[in-house]
Amino acid sequence: MHTSKLKILFITISFLFIIGILIYSHKIVNDLRNDSKRILTFYTELYAELASSESMNNFFFDKMISKISFPIIVTSKKHSEINAWKNIPKFDKNDNKNVTNFLLTEKNKAILLKYMKEMDKYSKPIPFYFDDIIIGYIHYGDSIAITRLKWMPFIEIFGAAVIILIGFLGLQYIRTSEKKFIWVGLAKETAHQLGTPISSLLGWIELAKAKYGNDTKLFDEMSIDISRLEKISHRFSQIGSNVPKKIIKSETLLNNVKNYIVRRVPQKNEHISLNFNSKNNSKILGNPELLEWALENIIKNAVDSLEGKSGKINVVTTENKKDQIVIDISDSGKGIETNKWKKIFQAGFSTKERGWGLGLSLVKRIIEEYHDGKIFVSKSRKNIGTTFRIILNKNTSE
């Protein structure tokens, strides 16, 4: 099963789980509200049966109502006259008891009326009778336990989400570490394997020169290619190590890349116009071999995007407003689909039929991890071309 399908399945199961928790919690809250309503209804019916004297009236308000744990407000038939209240939050503690209306301050009366309207939104007031005549209403709300219970599923969901996120990030970190370990091991093993045959070839060339003379162009070209292999081997050996850095001029960096690319591009397509334009000569603190490798990889991709047709490749360096060096590599190739702009930097992802999907992943590692820079697709349009942008920090130290 593809990773995207697994993600959809996981999200669906999580969503159903959340819905289940919310529905179950809502049912429990409604059951508790109904229990509160039954208790109040019982009290009012009892009051209607027994309320024949002033002492019973006092007993109802002072004894029965005082035992209730959830917030209530007892009003007259018109709801504007407050006769009693209990357990009202954010209310003056000295007034948070059963008292008669004339002791209420205007401020506290306003608080009670506002709170009463809020309670009525969720629970219908219960009328209480005397001789079958409605003499008032009991407005009631959720107890502290119900209020906490309403928030409980959200707290549980949040806690579960945090745990899942931590677990996901942990697994992601482990996977990334494993990938880096494999990547570094592969790079160092490649450098090690290249070392012996390169040394051997250098020896054979020296013997050939001694036997056939030094004036043949063939030996010079072979020496250049072997030097190139040495450079590649050295590049691989630096992956995963503490990369040595030095101050490089941006123009020098581009010239070194240009000297190599100009020799190689005609072998693939002699109708490519390759232009390098350095509009500044800023200093970069970096590793020249790795930066050259990164630029070469992008330019080679640009050449491949032309698919053997004639076209243009432009490499331009400028500075932005943040005093950073910006390198734009543009081509007039087939372009890259928008939904693949980020994917192309993932190891193993390739738009080529026979590609390994390692080139741009390596470039991203060199630019972002080793040089604290940025690389991204600046723009791309189908059959018009693509622009890769690299942003590097200038060296400001003297």
Element (H, E) at 320: none
pLDDT digits (tens, 9 = 90+) for 230-262: 777 766 766 666 777 888 888 888 888 888 888
Q: What is the 3-state secondary structure (H, E, C) of 115-182?
A: HHHHHHHHCCCEEEEECCEEEEEEEECCCHHHHHHHHHHHHHHHHHHHHHHHHHHHHHHHHHHHHHHH
Average pLDDT for 369-381: 90
Average pLDDT for 29-58: 66
Determine the Cα–Cα distance for residues 253 and 283; give it in Å rounded to an integer: 10
- Which residues, in sequence order, are bridge partners of residue 377? 388
With a threshold of 0.75, does the pTM exceed it? no
* Pairing assessment for the beta strands 311-319 and 272-278 based on DSSP bridges: parallel
Q: For residues 239 and 188, is the Cβ–Cβ distance under 8 A?
A: yes
pLDDT, position 328: 93
Determine how many CB atoms are found less than 10 A away from the CB of residue 123.
Answer: 18
pLDDT, position 178: 63
pLDDT of 55 strictly over 60: no
pLDDT digits (tens, 9 = 90+) for 274-308: 888 887 778 888 888 889 888 988 998 888 888 87
pLDDT, position 375: 93
pLDDT, position 101: 43
Closest by alpha carbon to 265, among 232, 301, 236, 226? 301
Element (H, E) at 382: none
pLDDT of 267 strictly over 90: no
Question: What's the mean per-residue pLDDT of the chain?
Answer: 76
When comparing pLDDT for 216 and 316, which is higher?
Answer: 316
Closest by alpha carbon to 60, among 128, 139, 134, 132? 128
